[in-house]
Amino acid sequence: MSISPLITFKAGQCEIDTSSRPYKVTPQPAKGHIYLYSEDDLVHFCWGERSKPLTDEDNLDLVMVPGDGHFEPYEYKTSDQPSSKTNGRIFVLKFASSSQRHLFWMQSKPQARNGDASWFSPRDLKIGQIVDTLLQGEEVDVPSEIAQVRGGDNDDEDETMEDVEGRGDSSEHHRGGSGGAGPGATGGDVREEGAGAREGGADGGRAAGSGPQDPATIVQNFLNSLKGGKGVQQQAQGQIYTTLPDLLPSSTTIPILDSATPAQIDNLLTYLPPTILLLAQEGSTSIDGMVEPNDASATAALEALSLGQKKSILKRVLRSPQVHQSLGSLTMAIRDGGLPSIAEALGVKLQNGGLVRGGSVPLGGGDAVEAFVEGVKKTVEDKK
């Protein structure tokens, strides 16, 4: 598959050390680039090393649900953490439906006249704005937007802006060094944006003025926006507990597939619509005109696939925005009183049937999600 990027620019990944407080962010030295492309009307947010092709299987490739992701600069001046100053330019990719975060440091030469490596130039901010707009599902005239900040007071090897035009194949973006900040450029401390973001109102490494917001409420507001409705802020019930998208990110589920046995892979495939297996076998990309396969043809399609093909199908499913959305919807349904009926339908054993102890009212909020997770664990343990 060939990729035609919507935009691409030089950036490296950051590693978060959670062994101390505040958490420390360390830039990785690999010369990389961020690039976005569109496939099936969905934007893919990707990162890879510049020495590798855009389609390399080791590249980070996230399928983004419109409106779920945001790409924002981390600016220490807006943080209430005294040690959160950085000495490099960091952007944060964050999600409304989960606490997952990815941090990247700009590898183009900083343009501050006073030598401040953490200063975001108009060029840097424009790149971030373009990426964030694309993640909202909006169309952007990238060349026109980039032209507004072309050049600049301090020229560097990125003056031609080839690293942010997103044209041609990956070989156009592999020349030269990264320029500017070195591996230690963003070694300052910064708050982690996981559980702390929900508990303390931190957002993008800085405190949000509106206070803490429940993740499930964010998911519901997002789903309402897809239907054209307005999100309604709701008071969280009971304790704050994690969401299913947080528990089952692709970074956790994909490695499980890699180590699964053939029998386990075949078992997982039985939960997919047979049409998907038939599409994979025939190498087709469309279901138009395809007859729904019967049990015999579905079994034949499954047996015809290699183990590698089977794992590839499951990985694509786990990375799909539909799975992410479904987990968010399931979390919301559990929180809103649907725990007993959902558990019964899935065969999950719950303590006290998922009801409030001593009563007949279903558990709600974080208590319900925790009861569901504990119920799943107990059900699996009982089957061993």
Give the three-state DSSP class for 329.
Answer: helix
Nearest CA among 104, 73, 86, 78 for reference residue 23 = 86
Angle between helices 321-333 and 215-226 (to 10 degrees): 120
Angle between helices 307-319 and 262-269 (to 10 degrees): 50
Is the pLDDT assigned to residue 290 strictly greater than 60? no
104-113, 239-248, 286-295: which range is least confident on average? 286-295
For residue 203, the model assigns a pLDDT of 35
CA 356 to chain centre: 34
What is the signed CA dihedral for 335, 338, 342, 343, rounded to 10 degrees?
Answer: 70
For residue 231, the model assigns a pLDDT of 39
Q: Would you give the end-to-end CA distance of the chain in angstroms?
A: 42
Is the pLDDT assigned to residue 198 strictly greater than 80? no
Confidence of residue 313 (pLDDT cuts 50, 70, 90): confident
Percent of the chain beyond pLDDT 70?
Answer: 68
Distances (CA, A) of 230 to 89, 215, 218, 223, 271: 35, 17, 12, 10, 34
Angstrom distance (rounded) from CA 371 to CA 238: 12
Is the pLDDT assigned to residue 282 strictly greater than 80? no
Is the pLDDT assigned to residue 2 strictly greater than 80? no
Angstrom distance (rounded) from CA 232 to CA 220: 8
Whole-number average pLDDT of the chain: 73
Is the pLDDT assigned to residue 22 strictly greater than 60? yes
317 vs 160: which has the higher pLDDT:
317
Residue whose entry in the numeric block shows the structure tokens 């343990």: 381
For residue 11, the model assigns a pLDDT of 95
CB burial string 134-162: b at 16+ within 10 A, e below: bbeeeebebeebbeebeeeeeeebbeebb
Confidence of residue 63 (pLDDT cuts 50, 70, 90): confident
Average confidence (pLDDT) over 203-214: 39
113 vs 85: which has the higher pLDDT:
113
For residue 135, the model assigns a pLDDT of 93
Is the pLDDT assigned to residue 128 strictly greater than 90? yes
Confidence of residue 85 (pLDDT cuts 50, 70, 90): low
For residue 205, the model assigns a pLDDT of 35
What is the per-residue pLDDT across 101-124, written as a single tens digit (0 to 9) for each? 899 999 988 888 887 888 888 889
